[in-house]
Chain A
C-alpha cells in the first residue's frame, strides 16, 4: 500500500516527467492548437517545477500542483495571443501549418473557445484530466460548491455550443 502511494509521488525530477507529463500535455493541448506552442508550455511547466522541486516534493497532490502551474501558463499564452489580435484559434486552416482536425475536433474546440476561461478549464480538468470535482477546485482555487456550480454552468454552455448533433456523433470525422 505504501509502495503504491509512493509510486504516485515524484521523489526525483525524472519521476515528475514519468508520472505527470501525460496529464500536463492533455490539459495544455486541449487549449493550445499549435503543437509547438503546447510543447513549449509543457516544457515551461516542468522547468518551473524543477526549479522549485523541494516545494513540489512537499505538495499534498503533485498533479494538482503541476496543473495549477499549467493553468497559469496556458492562460498567459492565450492572453498574449489574443492581445496580438491573432485570429481565433478555431479558425484554423492548412496554410497555418496546424494539425488536421476532424469535424468533431473543430466543433469541440470551437465550442470550448466560446466558453469563459474558467468554464473551459474546469471542463478540461474534469473530463480530460479526470480530476474529481474537489481536485478541480484545488487547481482553479474555488470551493467545492463553487466548482460544482461552475461545472454545471460549463456543461450547459458546452451543450448549447456543441448542439445535439455533435454530442450524438462524437466519433464522426471528416
Chain B
C-alpha cells in the first residue's frame, strides 16, 4: 500500500512538472474578469417571482400561464376554466438559494395585488401605480405606469379576467413555447388518485434537455393547482429543490394583508414611467410579457433597479 502511494507520488510529481505554468497568466485573468463583468445580471426564470418588481409581475402572470401549461391534456380546459372563475388568489413562493429558503407571498383581490417578501419587502399594485418598499433601505419607490402599461390589463392577466389577459400575452405563443421547451412527451398528467381524503392528480414537466423539472399537484374536484414544485437538475443527474409555489384560489383574504402598511418614515422616491418614456412606449402594455425587462430597462440611468426593486433577493451578494 505504501509502495503504491510512493509510486503515485512519483507520477504526481512528474505530471506537475510537465506544466510550464501552474497558474494562468495575469493577461488571461484580466480577460476573464472583463468577460465576467460583461455578464448581464442573471434573470430568474419566470416561475421564480422574487427578483425585481417587473419580473415579479411578469412572473405572477407566468405562474398563471404555468397553470395552463398541460395543454392538449384533458385537464387543460378544465384548469383554465376553473382559474378564470376566480377573483381572489394567494400564492406563496418558497425558493431555496444556497440552502436558504426565502418566501414571497402574492395576493390578489379584485384587480389589486400585493406581494410581500419575508425580508420585509412589500410591493403593491393598484390602478396603475406600483409601490415598492425596500425594508433594508427604508425607501418606497412609487412607480406610476403612465400610459406604458394598462393597469386593467394586468388586473385581467392576474385576476378574474385571466383568460382575456392571457390572450393579450399571446397565450398560444406562450403555450407553444412551453410545448417546445418540454416536448409533448415530457408533459405528463397522472390519473386521479385519492390522497388525504381528496381527489388529486399530478402534472409533471420534465425534459432531459431542461435544467428544471416542474411538478404540479392539482385538486381533481376543482381542477385548480394547489402546489407547484420546481427542482433543478445537476450535471450529475441529481435533483435539488429549487422552489415551491402554494396556490389558493377563492379564499377570503385578510384585508390587512392587502392594505398598504408602508412605514411613515420611509423615504419616497417617485418615478413616473410615462413621463420618463414620453410617448414612445405608449401601448407597449399590450405585451405583458415584456413588462419586467421593460421596467428594468426604463429605470436604468435613473438608479440601480436592483437596489429598490429587489424583493427577497440576496442583496449585497
Which residues from B are CB-within-8-Å of A52?
A: 211
Given the interface pairs A25-B28, A29-B20, the reply to whether A167 lies near B15 with Cβ below 8 Å is no
B98 adjacent to A6 (CB under 8 Å) = yes
Closest CB in chain B relative to A72 CB, distance in Å: 12
Q: Name which of B232, B238, B242 has the most chain A CB atoms within 10 A of its CB.
A: B232
Instruction: Check B317 for interface membership: any CB of A closer than 8 A.
Output: yes
B39 adjacent to A50 (CB under 8 Å) = yes
Instruction: Check A97 for interface membership: any CB of B closer than 8 A.
Output: no
Which residues from B are CB-within-8-Å of A166?
A: 14
Instruction: Check A73 for interface membership: any CB of B closer than 8 A.
Output: no
Q: How far is the CA of A127 from the CA of B42 in the complex (A)?
A: 35
B32 adjacent to A42 (CB under 8 Å) = yes
A58 adjacent to B22 (CB under 8 Å) = no
**Which residue of chain B has its CB nearest to the CB of A123?**
B15
Question: How many residues on chain A are close to B (CB under 8 Å)?
Answer: 54
Given the interface pairs A14-B33, A22-B22, A155-B11, the reply to whether A104 lies near B17 with Cβ below 8 Å is yes
Q: How far is the CA of A35 from the CA of B20 in the complex (A)?
A: 9
Which residues from B are CB-within-8-Å of A65?
A: 235
Closest CB in chain B relative to A45 CB, distance in Å: 10
Which residues from B are CB-within-8-Å of A50?
A: 35-36, 39
Choose one: B10, B32, B236; the contact of A46 (CB below 8 Å): B32
Instruction: Check B18 for interface membership: any CB of A closer than 8 A.
Output: yes
Q: How far is the CA of A106 from the CA of B53 in the complex (A)?
A: 58
Instruction: Check B197 for interface membership: any CB of A closer than 8 A.
Output: no
Choose one: B13, B42, B234; the contact of A170 (CB below 8 Å): B13
Instruction: Check B180 for interface membership: any CB of A closer than 8 A.
Output: no
**Which residue of chain A has its CB nearest to the CB of B48?**
A54
Question: How many residues on chain B are close to A (CB under 8 Å)?
Answer: 41
Q: How far is the CA of A9 from the CA of B242 in the complex (A)?
A: 17
Choose one: A54, A128, A167; the contact of B10 (CB below 8 Å): A167
Q: Name which of B16, B24, B232 has the most chain A CB atoms within 10 A of its CB.
A: B24
Interface residues of B in 1-48 (CB under 8 A from A): 7-8, 10-25, 28-29, 31-33, 35-37, 39, 42, 44-45
Instruction: Check A109 for interface membership: any CB of B closer than 8 A.
Output: yes
Choose one: B10, B33, B42; the contact of A17 (CB below 8 Å): B33
A158 adjacent to B19 (CB under 8 Å) = no
Closest CB in chain B relative to A136 CB, distance in Å: 13
**Which residue of chain A has its CB nearest to the CB of B25?**
A39
Instruction: Check A88 for interface membership: any CB of B closer than 8 A.
Output: no
B35 adjacent to A162 (CB under 8 Å) = no
Instruction: Check B186 for interface membership: any CB of A closer than 8 A.
Output: no
Q: Name which of A17, A52, A60 has the most chain B CB atoms within 10 A of its CB.
A: A17
Closest CB in chain A relative to B28 CB, distance in Å: 5
3 tightest A-B CB contacts, nearest first = A13-B36, A108-B18, A25-B24
A-B contact pairs, 20 of them (CB 8 A): A6-B98, A11-B317, A13-B35, A17-B29, A25-B23, A30-B19, A39-B25, A46-B32, A50-B36, A52-B211, A55-B232, A101-B20, A123-B11, A127-B11, A127-B15, A155-B8, A158-B11, A158-B14, A166-B14, A167-B7
Interface on A for B, CB 8 Å cutoff? Answer: 6, 9, 11-14, 16-17, 21-22, 25-26, 29-30, 35, 39, 42-43, 46-47, 50, 52-55, 57-60, 64-65, 68, 99, 101-102, 104-105, 108-109, 112, 123-124, 127-128, 138, 155, 158-159, 162, 166-168, 170-171
Interface on B for A, CB 8 Å cutoff? Answer: 7-8, 10-25, 28-29, 31-33, 35-37, 39, 42, 44-45, 98, 211, 232, 234-236, 238, 240, 242, 314, 317
